[in-house]
């Protein structure tokens, strides 16, 4: 709640200000109070840590305010291309068509890896499943996949009399949606009929309340009311539990980098902010939020 309040206050301070077009100056704008404002938008996976970075950074540089909003990776990247934000948060790399659109708009996107995440599979606590393979995930979520009922996997779930596999997914502007598709379905498409949620927390909330459900999202959104099976890359491979260390070392099969994109090399206040995010202080915050840092850091 504190993060939401901070974001609202920050936005209210800059409501009358229009950010400079990406690539002009340091890419920031000035609020009516004289503070430099950095507009930061995109991935819902990253929004919690982005809020935490913003809240802490106001104590590092009182002359800089960070306005953070979510909306999905695609929304953030589009806003960076159009010059309406200084930093786009993304839980997937930019698509070729987005890079092409950026270049047509005179923007040279620069990619900054700011952490790593494990995409966990979420189950209701009543579900007896303890492990799952990428092939099984594909058969559940992929178009033409054979698994539509839990009995197809030899599983019986208390409180799920329909036996239906309730597939919980993300909306298609989400970087999590795009990365999960690539990592588990390859070139295939999703099955129709999933329940597509706006945010990662919504996925967890629905799975927690639905015995028949299976969902996926960032590890940082896990809580004690859901279950996370280990994941096998192939049927005969090791089953790896989603954790911060297994995301960092790449042993978890659905681990991914987390990105911030800028229009060109970041300068001025935006450049200093990104340097701070990659410093020990910034990286300890992302670790505290349940993600893996870009390098080894001693957070005490």
Mean pLDDT in residue range 102-108: 96
Question: What is the length of the chain?
Answer: 300
Residue 118 has pLDDT above 50, yes or no: yes
Residue 269, phi then psi, degrees to nearest 5: -65, -40
Q: Is residue 160 part of a domain?
A: yes
Residue-wise pLDDT for 197-219, tens only, equals 999 999 999 999 999 999 999 99
- Judge if 124 and 251 occupy the same domain: yes
Mean pLDDT in residue range 241-261: 95
- Judge if 17 and 51 occupy the same domain: yes
Residue 6 has pLDDT above 90, yes or no: no
Angstrom distance (rounded) from CA 103 to CA 40: 21
> What's the pLDDT band for 236 if we cut at 50, 70, 90?
confident
**Residues 42/79, Cβ–Cβ less than 8 Å:** yes
- Judge if 272 and 227 occupy the same domain: no
Residue 83 has pLDDT above 90, yes or no: yes
Q: Among 137, 126, 103, which residue's Cα sits nearest to residue 225?
A: 126
Taking only Cα atoms into account, the Rg of the chain, rounded to an integer number of angstroms, comes to 20
- Judge if 171 and 105 occupy the same domain: no
Q: Is residue 293 part of a domain?
A: no
What's the structural domain count of the chain? 2
Q: Is residue 273 part of a domain?
A: yes
- Judge if 244 and 154 occupy the same domain: yes
Whether the pTM exceeds 0.85: the reply is no
Q: Is residue 57 part of a domain?
A: yes
- What per-residue confidence (pLDDT) applies to 171? 93
Q: Is residue 295 part of a domain?
A: no
- Judge if 140 and 246 occupy the same domain: yes
> What's the pLDDT band for 28 if we cut at 50, 70, 90?
low
CATH number for position 15 = 3.40.190.10
Q: How far apart are the first and last CA of the chain?
A: 27
Residue-wise pLDDT for 48-78, tens only, equals 999 999 999 999 999 999 999 999 999 999 9
Q: Is residue 229 part of a domain?
A: yes
Residue 271, phi then psi, degrees to nearest 5: -65, -45
Q: Which domain holds residue 57?
A: 2-116+258-288
Q: Is residue 294 part of a domain?
A: no
Lookup: tokens for 174:
């989400």
Q: Is residue 299 part of a domain?
A: no
Residue-wise burial string across 242-256, b where 16 or more C-beta atoms lie within 10 A, e elsewhere: bbbebbbeeebbbbb
- Judge if 92 and 192 occupy the same domain: no
Residue 189 has pLDDT above 60, yes or no: yes
């Amino acid at each position: 709640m504190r993060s939401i309040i901070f974001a609202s206050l920050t936005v209210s301070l800059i409501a009358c200000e229009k950010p400079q077009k990406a690539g002009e100056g340091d890419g920031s704008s000035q609020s009516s109070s004289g503070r430099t404002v950095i507009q930061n938008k995109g991935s819902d996976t990253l929004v919690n840590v982005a809020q935490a970075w913003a809240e802490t950074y106001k104590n590092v540089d009182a002359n800089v305010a960070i306005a953070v909003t979510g909306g999905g990776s695609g929304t953030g990247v589009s806003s960076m291309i159009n010059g309406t934000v200084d930093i786009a948060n993304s839980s997937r790399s930019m698509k070729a068509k987005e890079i092409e659109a950026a270049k047509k708009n005179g923007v040279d996107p620069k990619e900054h890896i700011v952490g790593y995440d494990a995409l966990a599979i979420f189950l209701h606590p009543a579900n007896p499943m303890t492990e799952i393979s990428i092939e099984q995930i594909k058969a559940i979520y992929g178009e033409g996949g054979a698994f539509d009922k839990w009995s197809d996997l030899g599983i019986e779930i208390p409180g799920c009399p329909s036996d239906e596999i309730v597939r919980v997914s993300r909306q298609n502007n989400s970087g999590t949606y795009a990365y999960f598709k690539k990592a588990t379905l390859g070139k295939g498409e999703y099955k129709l009929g999933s329940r597509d949620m706006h945010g990662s927390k919504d996925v967890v909330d629905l799975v927690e309340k639905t015995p028949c459900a299976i969902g996926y999202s960032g590890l940082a959104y896990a809580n004690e009311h859901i279950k996370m099976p280990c994941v096998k890359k192939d049927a005969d491979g090791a089953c790896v539990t989603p954790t911060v260390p297994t995301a960092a070392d790449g042993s978890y099969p659905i681990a991914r980098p987390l990105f911030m994109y800028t229009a060109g090399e970041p300068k001025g206040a935006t450049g200093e902010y990104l340097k701070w995010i990659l410093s020990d202080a910034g990286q300890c915050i992302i670790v505290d939020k349940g993600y893996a840092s870009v390098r080894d850091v001693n957070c005490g």
